[in-house]
Chains A and B, each alone.
Chain A
């Protein structure tokens, strides 16, 4: 009797907690609000996701999550098969957590969408000795570290104050806050306030803050259909939203609406985002040797801030695979950049 109970309990527990990966036909994908990710919401609402899912005879459930970090945590915990995130967060959250992840689509990189703003001062070197409000350990933090490098300073010359992104704009109105590092749409809100000076932005480090659609590697390998359907849907929206045609403007209006701004506001955010509308351009970006250098910088920053986990003896602990080679420990590859699916889109093979 007791023995039976033990065995049943053990079985139930292992069923409940063991992540299962094999071929299946229903998938969950999550995304959060950001200029370069809005197309996912549009693809879901306009039925484009369903159209492509039907083509490959699978179900894809696309969910919007309000809290960006929470969405990545949920993905890492195995609740979602794919999720949008930046290259740095992909390395420090799922990859450092042992969830082998593949960057299926490189959607864009920040080209001015992230910036450092000073109140009352107009030169980056004036930041010395100030308290800088930012979301600590985020891409803003990384960008600030890169910004400080350009003027020969380091984080020791300033004090970092962790501030939640939801409170950033109202925090900036307080007299205590004299310097912030943040991203759009918060950034444009803050720079539009009087006496604010944008002293550094991500267009000075182009290609280092990359926005990705990340898929669990095991799931993708067992279900290439998922990769094909997502990639197909994405580039359909990419084609639909670019240009000045009436239809394209209408699509961007919907994207603007969904992100809480108007067409003009959304277009200005797009201006500081290098979108890869053309899959061939994204393939070229992934195949370039610079990607590996960027991931090295990101890995080194992450290691210095203790983001690679305690088991990590140095920045090369986690292997990052790119088409031009692997950075770090190839025995522990947890993050992969592959051009395969984007190449299929470029070839019209989806």
Chain B
């Protein structure tokens, strides 16, 4: 008899064990939902799965009565656009300032304390200031995401840049490379996969800031819809929207990971 700590699940039992908790949650939810619906067929708190499917079909495939839009898709497009611009700008700024901070001591001396200071400001706390500086339209939403995650990416890439072995830099200098060449040929390629993993880590916060921004003032977006229908407790819309956001987040994370493995296999080979 093998000891418990030495027993490995096979491929089948690994899937079964992985799915089990989801199944348990689904069963508990259904039981609770049925119990409440039996008591009150109009109950909104724990809608049945058919109610949620119907609500989603309505949101996705029927034009809205008021605007004629297909609500789910316009919301998704609006949110993904904001997220892409915000995260994209943050990644670009992170890359530029992260490398500059990490590779050039003079630059680091001037900027690193500032970035550290900024990274400590909770973006949600300065919201009223953001309104005045960036207004209430798209710019403010993108800026909230940008301000929220850029300092983290910069600081992470700065540390990763400084971790590049000194020997490599000395070797390039003995071969006659100047600062620009060292950055472009040595630092940049090594930092790219680390940028991707920093972006993957910050996506969670990026979604948080996106939803928060859409809760404050918006005319569309996934967060907007959730905060809007919350006004009349439409859990049949809120729960599927949350699942949809989770799925989108998962797909983005998965694609970034795949891209990184395809483009920078050496990085993952060493990491695993």
Contact = CB atoms under 8 A, between A and B. Distances in A.
Contact of B217 (A19, A161, A175): A161
B227 interface: yes
A340 to B, nearest CB: 24
A151 interface: no
A171 B66 contact: no
B170 to A, nearest CB: 53
A18 B35 CA distance: 6
Nearest to A334: B42
Interface string A1-28: 0000000011001101111000000000
Contact of A167 (B28, B45, B51, B216): B216
Nearest to A131: B219
Contact of B136 (A14, A133, A136, A309): A133
A231 interface: no
B169 interface: no
Interface in B33-56: 35-36, 39-46, 51, 54-55
A99 interface: yes
B42 A13 contact: no
What's the interface size class on A, roughly? 35 or more
B218 interface: yes
A97 B233 contact: yes
A5 to B, nearest CB: 13
B55 to A, nearest CB: 7
B57 to A, nearest CB: 11
A347 B143 CA distance: 61
SS of B interface (majority) = helix
Contacts of B39: 17-19
B177 interface: no
A13 B35 contact: yes
Interface string B203-240: 00000000000011111000010011011110010000
B139 to A, nearest CB: 9
Contacts of A135: 231
Contacts of A76: 44-45, 233
Interface string A85-114: 000000011001111000000000000000
B211 to A, nearest CB: 12
A316 interface: no
Contact of A164 (B54, B55, B66, B227): B227
A173 interface: yes
Contacts of B236: 310
Given A164-B227, A306-B65, A92 B232 contact: yes
12 contacts: A13-B32, A19-B39, A69-B230, A98-B41, A98-B43, A159-B219, A162-B217, A162-B218, A167-B127, A175-B135, A176-B137, A177-B136
Interface of B: 28, 31-32, 35-36, 39-46, 51, 54-55, 58, 65-66, 127-128, 131-132, 135-137, 215-219, 224, 227-228, 230-233, 236
Given A96-B232, A176-B135, 14 more contacts: A69-B230, A76-B233, A77-B45, A92-B231, A93-B233, A96-B44, A98-B40, A98-B42, A137-B228, A167-B128, A171-B131, A173-B131, A174-B136, A310-B58
